[in-house]
Structure 1
Amino acid sequence: MNKLIGLSLVLLSGGLQAATISSSKNVELLVIDGKKVQSSFWSPTEKVELQPGRHQVVVRYDGELKNGSKNTMYTTRPYLFEMDVPDDDATIILPRLTTLSQAKAHFGRGAQWQLELSDGTTSALPYVELQGKGMAAFKNMEELVADYNRQHGITFEQGYAVDLEQATVEVSEQGEVTISGDALAQLKLWYSKANAEEKAAFHQWSKAQDAL
């Protein structure tokens, strides 16, 4: 049974028309804009509604494939997309995979993720393959994604993904790094990279500064 969820956090008061983003067969929606997609084995979430704009979507391939005379489950690492959601319904797709060897070869050489619009046109989806540590690396997907976002200065404002590093750091062709953007953007960048202890220390410091 297909399950459709609306992400209320991204519904802005501007009345923009939400688009339905679907996953193709054996593609599991995991985390969207830092929030775990509520799903279950018996009722997987295959569609979400998102406002047009920049969003972060994390998925993985999880399917049963032919392996000689038997079938075998094959699950990949999570793939993270920072994608521009169109104002039209779209589906995250992969080439058709039927055998275990075919799937291993496909993901081994670099998965070809695409976004297919309702009119049939497709575009490539650049991605990051998330790397976990230890046996339970992918048990808590929200935490894994939060750690990635913290390392890369990615946050969410009014329900949209914002790459603060891209907004505040410029790298020239010669490799020279320049800090750009206003003071507020720079503060947001460093705050997004801080852990819980560092954030608590910053709050204490800022209170002390306000009291001066």
Structure 2
Amino acid sequence: MKKNLWLLMALFSASTQAATLAVADNIQLLAVDGKEVKSQGWRAVDSVELSEGKHQVVVRFDGEVKRGSKSTIYTTRPYLFEIDLANTNAEIILPRLTTESQAKAFFERGAQWQLAMADGSVKPLVVTELQGEGFAAYSDIEALINAYNSANGIVVEKGNAIDLQQVAVNVDNKTGKVEITGDALIQLKMWYTKASKEDKKAFKIWMAEKDFN
């Protein structure tokens, strides 16, 4: 843990309802709530201030490891997960990985990402490894996240990630009957996230032509 960082976070949290989310060494913070986290000059951003509630976070391992007697940089695909913060500072952590073979084995068998809380407790994170297509699949992280969210019925509102399918769709496990619940606005948002670009364009044109007054 970064002791100085924890001290600063503790002092900061005493005067605000927000929390600070940090990442450990060799973990790169790529995006929060669908927005890319851009480095400040040559210095990567290793912490962000977040409001209370659920947040969608994307990170990757990007660190120096040993390949025999030489050093090399090992970089993984992006990993996406949700973090529910309740005014508690936290840090995303991984076990210490020192060699390339060790890192490969760890991520190939399913990396165990964890969240270390300010009170000393550690929680496992349920992660999704984002899969891109093509040579520059991961150059536009926001587009990659948007595609994932659209496919899974997830939107980010006021800094909080909302799974619209969980809110609006109820499946009877016995009969298999699907019931759409929730208010009309939630239902509209869910179907809009699943629409293609052409469907969204057509819908906007339809909305513009209608007079709902």
Q: Output the TM-score relative to the length of structure 2.
A: 0.87
- Partner amino acid, structure 2, of 1:105: A
**Tell me, what secondary structure is at the counterpart of 2:102?**
helix
Which residue of structure 1 aligns with residue 9 of structure 2?
none
Which residue of structure 1 aligns with residue 190 of structure 2?
189
Task: Provide the rounded CA distance (Å) in 1 between the counterparts of 2:87 and 2:33.
Answer: 17
CA shift for structure 1 position 210: 2.4
Task: Provide the rounded CA distance (Å) in 1 between the counterparts of 2:152 and 2:197.
Answer: 16
CA distances 1:44-78 after superposition (whole Å, capped 9, x unpaired) = 00000001101100000001101111011110010
Query: Alignment RMSD, CA only?
Result: 2.0
Alpha carbons of 1:124 and 1:211: their partners in 2 closer, same or farther (altered >3 Å)? closer
Which residue of structure 1 aligns with residue 37 of structure 2?
37
- Partner amino acid, structure 1, of 2:119: D
Task: Provide the rounded CA distance (Å) in 2 between the counterparts of 1:90 and 1:147.
Answer: 28
Q: Which runs of 4+ in 1 moved over 3 A?
A: none
CA shift for structure 1 position 209: 3.4
Residues 1:61 and 2:61 are matched in the alignment: yes
Task: Provide the rounded CA distance (Å) in 2 between the counterparts of 1:46 and 1:160.
Answer: 20
Task: Provide the rounded CA distance (Å) in 1 between the counterparts of 2:72 and 2:41.
Answer: 17
**Tell me, what secondary structure is at the counterpart of 1:210?**
coil
**Tell me, what secondary structure is at the counterpart of 1:28?**
strand
Q: Which moved more, 1:65-74 or 1:36-45?
A: 36-45
- Contact between 1:16 and 1:51, CA under 8 Å: does it hold in 2? no
Residues 1:22 and 2:22 are matched in the alignment: yes
Task: Provide the rounded CA distance (Å) in 2 between the counterparts of 1:202 and 1:16.
Answer: 41
Task: Provide the rounded CA distance (Å) in 2 between the counterparts of 1:211 and 1:85.
Answer: 40
Q: Among the aligned pairs, what percent are the same residue?
A: 54
Q: Output the TM-score relative to the length of structure 1.
A: 0.88
Residues 1:151 and 2:151 are matched in the alignment: yes
**Structure 1: unaligned runs, 5 residues or longer:** 5-14
CA distances 1:2-52 after superposition (whole Å, capped 9, x unpaired) = 9x9xxxxxxxxxx96110100001100001001110115721000000011
- Contact between 1:30 and 1:60, CA under 8 Å: does it hold in 2? yes
**Structure 2: unaligned runs, 5 residues or longer:** 6-14
